[in-house]
Structure 1
Amino acid sequence: MAITSSICAIVLEQTERTRQSSKADIERLIDQTQLKIASLRSQIERERAIAAALRYIISPVRALPVELLAEIFVLAIRDRTHITDVLRLSQVCSDWRQVAHATPRLWTGLIRVNLDNESGSLKEAYADGLKAWLARSLPHPVPISFMACPPKDTYCRILAEILKTSPRWGSADLRYAPLWLINRVAECRLDNLEELSLGTIGPNTSHLDPLCFTGAPRLRKLGVKFHSNDPQILMPWAQLTDITIDSSSHDIALDILVQCTDLIRASLCIPGWHELPEAERDIHVLSRLRTLSFALFGSAGKVSPFFDCISAPALEELCLHFDDMENDVDWKAAHLPTFQVRAPHLARLDLRYATLRGDDLIDVLHYAPALTHLKLFCCWDCFDDIAVGALHYKEGVRPLVPHLHNLILEHTGEMFTPGVLADMITSRWAGAELATPPAVAHWTLVRVKDDHTKHFADVMEVLHRKGLPIELLNRSGNNQFAPAPSNS
């Protein structure tokens, strides 16, 4: 009502004011009023900007020391989106841009280099941006990954800018790089290179000169995938501590492995042997090896040449994966227990698609007295009533794997009786609770993923209510009980 009255009053006022004015005079008055409105709007926007600037001046973030703001920036960067995150931070305001540009750690995320065949201003802009990015990361090491690459060695400014920084590379991913690019990188200074990944070189290249990376004094981690007809690779094998080998030749893979005398972690994916070698290999001691992952593929099922030639006295974790095997592994002749004698501290065992039987599993566990973690995945035949019964705790009888406290069973088939498994879990739970000192370790996690009988689920629910960290998962991965403690 007040607004309507005000408008009416203004209309009366302007009517009286323009009583003697022509239409043209009134239109000039309208133009003058519009100019005043524009001027007032501009003044309002300026006053709003002044208010915003004053609020910024007294804002808490402006009072932060530059060093603390830089640390906040570093924590705000996510690995997968680090480029977008850094650019957004640097575009908030000029002060933040100065802090971002003066914080080299913000610019040390993974750089995926595209050496495709684009030309013109777009490629030049990419090269300029890459050069500026690398300059802001000084003096820190940077990780480099080569993605799209031309098939031939032609001059490329992008590559030239990248190769200039090779002494600062902390890691280099060359899995998708052609041979000419790998050769170019091998010729560079690699003073800070600690991690290197190489893919398959290409068919019929074994006659070419060796690829030489012996000039990388800090190289510790290597991932390499090769065939028997790839060129020879020269590496500072003895200084490596982490190696992943994926090879179609088990002999080349073993030749490499035994040269890596300082290994802490090793992962091999090789074919098995069709026939046993006529001459046995010498036993090579990998005295620092803690984790070993061994995967087989193909149709050959003999593995004893591997287990017979390696000694790992410090080994703590062993993963045996046979997902890609076409035939069964000959476990009776695998000599795994003999290998275990040379690895007395084995604490974690992970078996996937292993075709061993129940008595084979008992032999493996018998030679793993320090075992704390056991995982069986798609091991259809080994977890039968005999193996489950061997794990059953009986008072006055020395238990098998007394330190076992973490048991994961996923898709282990129907060779065991659910009631026998429930009794075994219960016996070890009671043995840990009642005996002084405990004859077996307290369970920290029992996870069973498969279909369950009602009796088995009922028994486990009773133990769960008493504190047993049990997870019963159906085939969809849904847990029947509340989550177990995360101390696995």
Structure 2
Amino acid sequence: MNTISTPKRICIDDVPNEILADIFRWVSISSANSLSTQNGLYASEVLSQVCSLWRKLAHGSPKLWTELILKVNVDTNSLNRRESLTHWFSRSRAVDIVLTLDPFRVGMQLQSVISTVCDHSNLWRRFRLSLPWAGIMSFFLIGTLCTPQLEELVVECVHSNSPAGLYPRHLAVKEGSERTVITDCGRLRKVCVALLPSFPLELLCNLLPWSGLTEVIIQKPGAHPTLIHHVFMHCKSLVRLKIWTAYWRLLDISMEPSDELRLEHLESFEVEADLRALVHILRSVQLPALKSLTLSGIANHDEELYPVQPSLAVALMELGDHAHFDLVELKICGLLDFCKTSGLQLEDLLRFLASHRGLTSLALKCRRREDAHGLLNSLSTGFLDEGNGRLAMLPKLTTIDVDGDWKE
């Protein structure tokens, strides 16, 4: 939602964007100058008056309650929140909902608010749930939800930067608890989750029919390898996939090449993971329609304790061997000379590039300035077509980016 920042800030979060646009237009063109000079009113005060009139009008005009964004911030003072939410939903037709909770103010109202919002799941169009770990389980123990208008679902933690060692090994589910199951969701295409790797997988895997999704995003702090495997096994309609997973080195789990890990329609694949996870994923999956590949945020500072086999270079070549895709965009951040034996050397990268002549955009973020200079030198001296000044091995390439966060 749009908000106004002025010396006298007015809370207008409940007003839809299109209404705000009309208000801004009215203030700036029709009445702002005369009101400011004659009555001494600030624009924020004018907005406040207009918003107040709009809310009164909305009670008698249901059309003003369509296409709205409902922002619910749960706190310990939400004594009348359930009644006001029920009143709001009674006038709504389709809504985008952002349900957030301050992790330091987990009050008794959380369960009540979640229950009220879920009671009206038939109105959801886009639903975003942001809760701390202490409250995230409340959503997954609601029961059956009917969501005929739902297009996008986001379930994420608040403050997801805790060290891995502080994560609980397993989040327990009481026996006999009613699990949340989303049904009648034929419009649902995008799901984004940001949960603990120890989150109960049966709650997530049975939450919704994954087969119809076209976009899945798994954000920090990451996901258990079994969930990644589940996505590749069941989300066969995916066009875009982004995954972030870490701490696989703490788990004795790996992925092996399999024809079942094949996504026929996937065009965009982004991976942020530790090196071991990245290697296992790349060498195991088949992506024949892949157009854009991004490898970034890789962390593996303890190679001696957690050796990676095969090397990243081998895994990258195996990805191409398993399914002969034609990349258009490639982005690899901070992997050149990343580590002694498991990293990606310059000659490995050039060999991979030579097999993708259709590339138009290439971003190779280097950790060190000398790596960037060496890369550009190798590309220009070894593969430059003197006749037209273009790279002979990448004739369609129009953009090269090697910048990085270099330290002098």
TM-score range, shorter chain: 0.5 to 0.7
Task: Name the CA distance, whole Å, in 1 between partners of 2:330 and 2:363.
Answer: 6
Aligned to 1:373: 361
Q: List aligned pairs for 1:232-381, cutoff 5 A.
A: 232=202, 233=204, 234=206, 235-246=208-219, 247-271=222-246, 277=254, 280-282=257-259, 284-297=261-274, 300-301=275-276, 303-326=278-301, 331=311, 333-341=313-321, 342-355=323-336, 356-380=344-368, 381=371
Which structure has the higher relative contact order (CA within 8 Å, separation 6+)?
A: 2
Task: Name the CA distance, whole Å, in 2 between partners of 1:153 and 1:133.
Answer: 17
Task: Name the CA distance, whole Å, in 2 between partners of 1:71 and 1:322.
Answer: 35
Aligned to 2:193: 224
Q: CA deviation at 1:287?
A: 1.5
Task: Confirm or deny: 8 A CA contact 2:141 2:180 kept in the other structure.
Answer: no
Task: Confirm or deny: 8 A CA contact 2:100 2:129 kept in the other structure.
Answer: yes
Task: Confirm or deny: 8 A CA contact 2:259 2:286 kept in the other structure.
Answer: no
Task: Name the CA distance, whole Å, in 1 between partners of 2:256 and 2:55.
Answer: 67
Q: CA deviation at 1:375?
A: 1.2
What RMSD over aligned residues (CA atoms) do the two structures have, in Å? 4.1
Aligned to 2:386: 394
Task: Name the CA distance, whole Å, in 1 between partners of 2:356 and 2:179.
Answer: 41
TM-score (structure 1 length as normaliser): 0.57
Task: Name the CA distance, whole Å, in 1 between partners of 2:129 and 2:270.
Answer: 23
Q: Taking structure 1 as reference, are residues 155 and 291 closer, same or farther at Cα in structure 2, changes over 3 Å only?
A: closer
In the alignment, does 2:163 pair up with 1:163? Answer: no
Q: Which has the higher helix share?
A: 1
Aligned to 1:408: 401
Comparing 192-201 with 351-360, which one deviates more in the overlay? 192-201
Task: Name the CA distance, whole Å, in 2 between partners of 1:295 and 1:359.
Answer: 23
Q: Deviations over 1:418-441 (max 9, x none)?
A: xxxxxxxxxxxxxxxxxxxxxxxx
| DSSP 3-state at the match of 1:354 | coil
Task: Name the CA distance, whole Å, in 2 between partners of 1:357 and 1:263.
Answer: 31
Q: CA deviation at 1:293?
A: 0.5
Task: Name the CA distance, whole Å, in 1 between partners of 2:172 and 2:141.
Answer: 18
Aligned to 2:94: 140
For residue 111 of structure 1, the aligned residue among 46, 66, 70 is: 70
Q: Taking structure 1 as reference, are residues 229 and 98 closer, same or farther at Cα in structure 2, changes over 3 Å only?
A: closer
Task: Confirm or deny: 8 A CA contact 1:285 1:310 kept in the other structure.
Answer: yes
The number of residues matched between the two structures is: 332
Percentage of matched positions with identical amino acids: 17
Q: List aligned pairs for 1:33-48, cutoff 5 A.
A: none
| DSSP 3-state at the match of 2:289 | coil
Q: Deviations over 1:461-488 (max 9, x none)?
A: xxxxxxxxxxxxxxxxxxxxxxxxxxxx
Task: Name the CA distance, whole Å, in 2 between partners of 1:255 and 1:145.
Answer: 27
The residue type paired with residue 205 of structure 1 is L
Q: Deviations over 1:283-310 (max 9, x none)?
A: 522112121110113xx54633212222
Task: Name the CA distance, whole Å, in 2 between partners of 1:71 and 1:347.
Answer: 36
Q: List aligned pairs for 1:457-472, cutoff 5 A.
A: none
TM-score (structure 2 length as normaliser): 0.67
The residue type paired with residue 319 of structure 1 is T
Task: Confirm or deny: 8 A CA contact 2:232 2:263 kept in the other structure.
Answer: no
Q: CA deviation at 1:101?
A: 6.5
Q: Taking structure 1 as reference, are residues 320 and 255 closer, same or farther at Cα in structure 2, changes over 3 Å only?
A: same
Q: Which runs of 5+ in 1 are unaligned?
A: 1-69, 79-84, 414-449, 452-488
Task: Name the CA distance, whole Å, in 1 between partners of 2:236 and 2:334.
Answer: 30
In the alignment, does 2:146 pair up with 1:189? Answer: yes
Comparing 186-195 with 142-151, which one deviates more in the overlay? 142-151
Task: Confirm or deny: 8 A CA contact 1:73 1:106 kept in the other structure.
Answer: no
Aligned to 2:181: 213
